[in-house]
Each structure stands twice: as C-alpha cells, then as structure tokens.
Structure 1
Amino acid sequence: MIEAVGLTKRYGDRLAVDQLSFSVKAGQVTGFLGPNGAGKSTTMRMILGLDAPTSGRVTVGGKPFAQAAYPMREVGALLDAKAVHGGRSAYNHLLCLAQTNNLPTRRVDEVLELVGLAAVAKKRSKGFSLGMGQRLGIAAALLGDPQVLMFDEPVNGLDPEGILWIRNLMKALAAEGRTVFVSSHLMSEMENTADHLVVIGRGRLVADCSVQEFIDNNSELSIRVKTPELTKLNTVLTDKGAIVRADGDEALLVTRLGMTEIGDLAFDNGIRVHELSPIQASLEQAFMELTKDSVEYHAAVPAGKGA
C-alpha cells in the first residue's frame, strides 16, 4: 500500500504538488491521471525517495521507501525506460540490477521470458526500439518480484499486442494482491485497465474514486433515439426541457430526460421510435470535463486556408 499525507513539493516559487493526500490499495490497479504539469511525475519521484517533499510524507508499506532494506524486492518502478546503459545487453543490464540487489540470477531469465525479450537478451540495448526499451524497463521493475509496482506511461511505444499484454499483466499482478500504481495519458487504456483513479490538477487532488464513479460524477448520460419523425420528436422533447442534438440522419442525442420519460413522450404523441439506448460517456470525456480548468498549456487549432 502507498499512502501520501499532505504531500507538498515546491521548486522556488512554483508549487508542483500541493497538500496531496491519497492511498493506493493492494489488489487493484490504480490509475494516476492529470494534465501535463499536474505534478504526477514529481509525486511518483517523491514516493520513490528520488525527490524530498517540502512538507508532508509518503510511505510504502507503512514506511518511507528510503528505509527499505532491499528496495527492488519491495517496489518495482518504471519511470524512465531510457535509463539504461546503451552499451549493455538486456541480460547484462538486468544482471547488474540483480547482483546489486542480492537477487537470484535465475530471475533475469525469468523476467526476460515474461516480457518477450528472451530472443534478444544478448543484444545491446542501444539498438532497441522504443517498445523494446519499454519491455526492458518493465522487466527491471518485475525483477525483484515486488509487492508494489509503479509504472509511468508503461504502454509508450508498444504495439497493439504489447498494449494488450501489459494491460493483462497489470490486472494479473493486482489479482495476486499486489499494489499497482499506473500513470498514463491514454484514457482508453486506463478505462480498460484501472479499477480506481487518483486524479490531480495543478498539484492538487481533484478525484479519488472508482472509474465508474468518476465517469458518472463528471459526465451527463445521453440517450440515443432513432426515429423517422425527428422534427416532431425534437419539438416534443425540447418543450419538456431536454437538450437535443442531431446524431446522424435519423437519430437524436438527448440529455436532461431519462429513457422512460422519452419513451412515454414518444408514445403519448404517436411518434414511432426505432431505437432508444443509453450512451455512456467515456473516461476521456469525463476527464476533459473535470480537468478543463487545470490544463497548464492550451494549444490553438490552426486556421484553415482562406480563414
């Protein structure tokens, strides 16, 4: 378990993390989300003792990570897959980590096989693709068979097969009772992988809940109605306070009214309905809605020719 209490980090005049308190429980995948500049990387570095908090505290398994007798046996982390000596082979990189952490040599072959790099174990890592580098970083995180795992953008550079693999791996690790903490900007992956979310913006906690709770709390359910009588139904629904917008040639997306109300109104007004179905917002839509005021950098959309 990871627990942060009042965690704060200041760099000169800039407050990177501001009174952040949350816990990451064992047995589930916890997604760590936030816009660029929100303080995610700084928080993960403080968990690992790479940066010292200005105030507050963070513990792993009830104690600061710096007090761990055998760090890699307790926490496995992937923060920067490029942090590898390019002249070393994948095998030798992992062997050095194993020897300096008093880990059995057999673990090197085991994790190389697990991440799919056994065939290139003797090749120098400087020739690895981005995806292969990610796999090597994940192998290093798994080397000590730790109970706590932290991944920062683990699917970066992976192909679809690799993305599915790491998704299933994280779920399997959590199912074994381990603590899995994952930072990512890929909302679709977090929606498919995470059980719980910790969301921050400008260094502050903005949400700490399950994925479904997050979507429900930060989006509005839409109802898709397909009918050959669009104009008539639009008028009926709007008169009852619904917000209606077109969704293709023969369908409407309706908010502010439930499916039962829409169905009853259509029936009472003699309107044929061919489809009536709920449209759940995605995690990305809910995330964008919640963090729209916490985005540090706003990019402009280029104007088209002749504009």
Structure 2
Amino acid sequence: MIEAHALTKRYGERTAVSDLSFTVRPGVVTGFLGPNGAGKSTTMRMILGLDAPTSGRVTVNGKQYAEHRAPLHEVGAMLEARAIHTGRTAYNHLLALAATTGIPRRRVDEVIEIVGLGQVARKRAGGFSLGMGQRLGIASALLGDPATLVLDEPVNGLDPEGILWIRNLLKDQAAEGRTVLLSSHLMSEMALTAEHLIVIGRGRLIADTSVADFVRTAAGASVRVRTDEAERLRQLLVGHEVSVASVDRGVLEVTGLSSDRIGRIAADQAIALAELTPQQASLEEAFMEMTRDAVEYQAPAREPEGLAA
C-alpha cells in the first residue's frame, strides 16, 4: 500500500506538488493521471525517496522507502527504462542488481523469461530497441518479487502484442494482492488496464475514484435517439437540467434523462423510436473535461475552415 499525506514539493518559488493526499491500495491496478506538468513524476520520485518532500509524508507498506531494509523486495519501480549501463548485457544488468540486494541468480532467469527477453539476454542493452528497453526496465522492477509496483509509462515503445502482455501482467500482479501504480498518457490503454484512478493537476488532487465513476461524473451520460418525429419528441423532453441536441436529421442526443425515461415518454405519446442507445463518454473525453483548467500549456484554438488567413 502507498499512502501520501499532505505531500508538498517546492523548487524555489515553484510548487510542483501541493498538499496531495491519496492511498493506493493492493489488489487493483491504480492509474495515475494528469496533464504534462501536473506533478506526476515528482510525486513518483517522492514515493521512491529520490526527492524529499518539502512537507508531508509518503510511505510504502507503512514505511518511507529509505526505511526498508530490502527496498527491492518491497517496491519495484520503473521511472526511466533506459537508465541502465548500455555496455552491459540485459542478463548482467539484472545480475548486478540481484547480487547487491541478496536476490538469487535463478530469479534473474525467471524475470528474463517473464518479460520475453530470453533470446537477447546476452546482448548489450545499448543496442536494444525502445520496446526491448521497456521490457528490461519491467524485469528490473519485478526482480525482487515486490509487494508494490510503481511504473511510469511502461507501454512506451511496445508493439500491440507487448501492450497486451503488460496489461495482463499488471492485472495478474494486482490479482495476486500486489499494489500497482501505473502512469500513462495512453487513455485507451488505461481504460482497459486500471480499475481505480488518481488524477492530479497543477500538483493538486482532482479525483480519487474508480474509472467508471470518473467517466460518469466527469463527462455525464447521454442517450442517442432516432425517430421520424424528432422535433415533436424534442419539445416533450427539453426542460430543466435536460438538454436535447440535434446531431443529424431525425437524430437527437439527450443529456439529463435515462433511456428508460425517454422510452416511456415516447411510448406515452405514441412516438415510434428507431434507436434508443445510451452513450458513454470515453476515459480520454472525461480526462480532457476534468483537467482542462489544469493544463499548463494550452494549444492555440483552431480556426474554422475557410477563415484562416
């Protein structure tokens, strides 16, 4: 378990993380999200004892990282996959880590097979592709068979097979009772991997909730309705806290009413419906909605076609 209490980090006059509190619990994959500059990397570095908080405290399994006698057995981390000696082979890189932390040699062989580097284990890591480097970084994180995993952008550079592999691996780790904290900018993949989310912006907590609740709360749900009597139905539906938009001829998008309620209203007025489909926003849409005021660098607004100079 990871517990952050009123965590704050300042660099001179700049506050990277401000009064941040959250708990990452075992048994589920927790996604750690935020725009660029939100403070994610700083927070992860404080979890691992690489940066000291200005105030507040963060513990892993009840202790600060430096207080653990055998940290690799408690926390496996990957913040920068290519932070390795490029002249070493993958095998020797892992063997050096194992030798300095009391991990048996057989565990090196095990993690090499787990991450699929068996055929290149004796090659120098400096010649690895980005995806192979990611696999080696993940192998390093798994080496101590830790109770907690902290991974920053683990799917970068992986092909579709590799992305599916890391997704299943993290779910399996959580299913075994481990604590898994995962940071990624790939919202589609986060939606498939994580069950819980911690979202921050400008160093402050925005949300600490399940993926389903985050999407539902942030973006709201709408219902797509198709009927030959769209205008008549619109008049019946629109009202306080209910909005109705025309998205195409004969097609309405209704926000503020459930599909069951819309169906009953239509049936009472003998309006035939060709389609009545609940629409759910994506995690990406929900994330953009919830963090739009916390983005450090805004892209310029796109001019309508035909108006550009």
| Common fold by TM > 0.5 | yes
Gaps of 5+ in 1: none
Q: How many residues align?
A: 307
SS in 2 for 1:293: helix
Are 2:29 and 1:29 aligned?
yes
CA 1:240–1:203 in 2, change beyond 3 Å: closer, same or farther?
closer
CA–CA distance in structure 2, aligned partners of residues 168 and 193 of structure 1? 8
Superposition pairs of residues 170-249 of structure 1, within 5 angstroms? 170-238=170-238, 242-249=242-249
CA–CA distance in structure 1, aligned partners of residues 182 and 202 of structure 2? 19
Gaps of 5+ in 2: none
CA–CA distance in structure 2, aligned partners of residues 73 and 209 of structure 1? 28
Structure 1 residue 2 displacement after superposition = 0.8
Deviates more, 1:204-213 or 1:268-277: 268-277
Residue in structure 1 matched with residue 68 of structure 2 by the alignment: 68
CA–CA distance in structure 2, aligned partners of residues 47 and 262 of structure 1? 49
CA–CA distance in structure 2, aligned partners of residues 138 and 210 of structure 1? 25
Aligned-pair RMSD on alpha carbons? 1.7
CA–CA distance in structure 1, aligned partners of residues 6 and 107 of structure 2? 37
CA 1:260–1:92 in 2, change beyond 3 Å: closer, same or farther?
same
SS in 2 for 1:217: helix
CA 1:255–1:158 in 2, change beyond 3 Å: closer, same or farther?
same
Structure 1 residue 196 displacement after superposition = 1.2
Residue in structure 1 matched with residue 290 of structure 2 by the alignment: 290
Are 2:146 and 1:146 aligned?
yes
CA–CA distance in structure 2, aligned partners of residues 241 and 212 of structure 1? 22
| TM-score, length of structure 1 as denominator length | 0.95
Identity over aligned pairs, percent: 63
Superposition pairs of residues 1-307 of structure 1, within 5 angstroms? 1-238=1-238, 242-300=242-300, 303=303, 307=308
What is the letter of the counterpart of residue 78 of structure 1?
M
CA 1:130–1:246 in 2, change beyond 3 Å: closer, same or farther?
farther
SS in 1 for 2:286: helix
CA 1:48–1:262 in 2, change beyond 3 Å: closer, same or farther?
same
Deviates more, 1:106-115 or 1:227-236: 227-236
CA–CA distance in structure 1, aligned partners of residues 289 and 241 of structure 2? 22
SS in 2 for 1:108: helix
SS in 2 for 1:273: coil
CA–CA distance in structure 2, aligned partners of residues 75 and 240 of structure 1? 51
| TM-score, length of structure 2 as denominator length | 0.94
CA–CA distance in structure 1, aligned partners of residues 252 and 55 of structure 2? 52
What is the letter of the counterpart of residue 8 of structure 2?
T
Q: How far does the alpha carbon of each residue in 1:157-178 deviate from its partner, in whole angstroms, 9 at most, with x for none?
A: 1111111111111110001011
CA–CA distance in structure 2, aligned partners of residues 268 and 81 of structure 1? 61
CA–CA distance in structure 2, aligned partners of residues 292 and 90 of structure 1? 41
